[in-house]
Amino acid sequence: MKKVFLLLIMALIVGACDDGFEELNVNPTKSAQIASANKLTALEKYISSERYDNWRAGMIYQSTMMQHIATTAGYWSGDKYTWNRGYASSLLDRYYGNAIKTAQDLIVQLDEEESPEEMKAIARILRVFAFSRITDLHGDVPYSEAGKAVIDGIFLPKYDKQSDIYADMLKELEESAAALSSGTSEFGAADVIYGGDQAKWKRLANSLMLRLGLRLIKVDAAASQAWATKAIAGGVMTSNEDIFFLKHDQDNRNGISEVFDADGNPRMSDTFINFLKDGNDPRLPILAARRSDGSTEVADLIGFPNGLDSALLLELTGEENTDNYAEPNRAILAGFDAPMIFQTYAEVEFMLAEANVRWGLAGDAETHYNNGVTAAMKQLALFSDAAIIEDDAIATYLTDNPYDAANAIEQISTQYWAATFLNEYETFSNWRRTGFPVLTPVNYPGNETGGTIPRRLTYSESEASVNAENYAAAVAAQGPDVLTTRVWWDVQ
């Protein structure tokens, strides 16, 4: 009897041993799914990214290589063409885990929910933008299999050839543009870039198509012309209202502003300051200020040479410190709520000018040049009311610096270079594509490139061991994983 009693007790306990365990193992602070709109907002934040990669890939490497910025600080590797692998791969290390992963997940959800095509188009455009930054900076990269560890179980994605990536990105843009019409997408206000405005997205798709099309100029001029033609026909940005940028705030800070906040080392490169001074450019006192006292008097704004440490500076100039040089004007540029700009109407106008020069497309190069310069000056108002440039100042500038048909490509490209200050990803790509402005490389002792400006940044160090096979294949196809290897479209 006693045994039976015990067995009964045990049976009761057994029944209770995992009672309620399934419910208990559901995380009460997380959800099994969220609205696609919430993910879109996250994706738009992720493409602007953080201080981490904006500092390393954006400012430390590209802004200095492009001679917008210069500094004596040794860890600013791009100023002296030295190699810090962690810095060089910082965009990859942030974008894949955030922007790419979120874009892939969002697109799957939109498919599953059979959301309207225009919503998918918006997500696909953002995905193309993110991938274009990645591939332009690094060359062959995981594309077709990237960010799909959950979706397709791909833990070790292969590296796609940049030529294949470009073909697909351009196709994506074409299809997305076609899917967009007018009116507001269902994302509505969750789309913090364009507020769901389909027409703006459509113009962005075509503007990005124009950008990516022109990238092909050295490797496949015919394709370049064809895509430019298609993009222009589809309708590109028409005003500064169309600028593709993210507005930041105190809680969602602009990553570049955070760099300026944390790092007192960057100075304005004398290459850039001299360009602005030579053109008597009204942007100079907006973009630059003297480090020591914040003065924006033109006479006080001295650019700093690239490739110097303080010993070399002393040797060269007798100058003991760098406080008398100009730095990015923190008062205007470094607010945490500063806009993060991805593509501007000004760039589009410059590209139209170029397309006209090269192929006679899109009307008249001079008009586009003038529109581009005007828009580039006007767009600074996005930063602050203190950055508004009056029309007559712009008119004066254009009078002093008129369109020069004889040197059109160089002139346009140089204006493009000036207009993309802080969007250094685009500066670096366009410079590699056009070769303008002509930048004099530095040759700092012990540099990594033999005194030439790097042509790409390198992959994450972990790839060589974790994703060894695919990494090896990419290196075999593209060339050594070093700063001097050229990406596919950057043929010599």
- Find the binding residues for another protein in span 353-392 (CB under 8 A): none
Of the pair 39, 200, the CB lying nearest another protein is at 39
Of the pair 106, 348, the CB lying nearest another protein is at 106
Of the pair 299, 311, the CB lying nearest another protein is at 311
Binding mask 437-466 toward another protein (x if CB under 8 A, else -) reads --------xx---x---------xxxxxxx
Cα→Cα distances 274→301, 315, 317, 394, 471, Å? 10, 21, 17, 18, 42
Cα→Cα distances 198→108, 205, 207, 318, Å? 21, 10, 14, 57
The binder of another protein chosen from 3, 222, 250, 406 (CB under 8 A): 250
247 scored as a contact of another protein (CB under 8 A): yes
Q: What letter represents residue 291's amino acid?
A: R
The binder of another protein chosen from 322, 413, 430, 434 (CB under 8 A): 322
Stretch 253-282 residues interacting with another protein (CB under 8 A): 253, 261-265
Per the CB < 8 A criterion, the answer to whether 93 and 466 are in contact is: no
Of the pair 31, 239, the CB lying nearest another protein is at 31
124 scored as a contact of another protein (CB under 8 A): no
Q: What letter represents residue 115's amino acid?
A: S
334 scored as a contact of another protein (CB under 8 A): no
Of the pair 225, 254, the CB lying nearest another protein is at 254
Q: Which one of the spans 17-25, 60-68, 237-245, 290-298 is the region binding another protein (CB under 8 A)?
A: 17-25
82's CB contacts (< 8 A; 6+ apart) are 444, 446, 447, 448
Apex 83 CA angle, 424 and 212, nearest 5 = 35
- Residue 341: its H or E element: strand 339-343
The binder of another protein chosen from 49, 90, 102, 420 (CB under 8 A): 102
CA pair distance 238, 470, nearest whole angstrom: 42
Binding mask 400-439 toward another protein (x if CB under 8 A, else -) reads ----------------------------------------
CA-wise closest residue to 139 among 432, 468, 462, 419: 432
Identify the DSSP state of 347. H
φ and ψ at residue 143, rounded to 5 degrees: -135, -65
The binder of another protein chosen from 1, 16, 406, 476 (CB under 8 A): 16
Stretch 134-193 residues interacting with another protein (CB under 8 A): 141-142, 145-150, 154-157, 189-190, 192
Residue 467, number of CB atoms within 10 A of its CB: 20
476 scored as a contact of another protein (CB under 8 A): no
Query: How many Cα atoms are found within 13 Å in the side-chain-facing hemisphere of 293?
Result: 6
Of the pair 399, 465, the CB lying nearest another protein is at 465
Q: What letter represents residue 99's amino acid?
A: A
> 290 in helix, strand or coil?
strand
Of the pair 150, 491, the CB lying nearest another protein is at 150
Please tell me the count of residues contacting another protein according to CB under 8 A. Answer: 94
Closest distance between another protein and the C-beta of residue 200, in Å? 16
Strand-pair partners of 312: none
Per the CB < 8 A criterion, the answer to whether 198 and 180 are in contact is: yes
96 scored as a contact of another protein (CB under 8 A): yes
Q: Which one of the spans 54-62, 94-102, 226-234, 286-294 is the region binding another protein (CB under 8 A)?
A: 94-102
The binder of another protein chosen from 3, 4, 5, 22 (CB under 8 A): 22
> 301 in helix, strand or coil?
coil
Of the pair 1, 17, the CB lying nearest another protein is at 17
CA pair distance 164, 317, nearest whole angstrom: 49
Closest distance between another protein and the C-beta of residue 213, in Å? 26
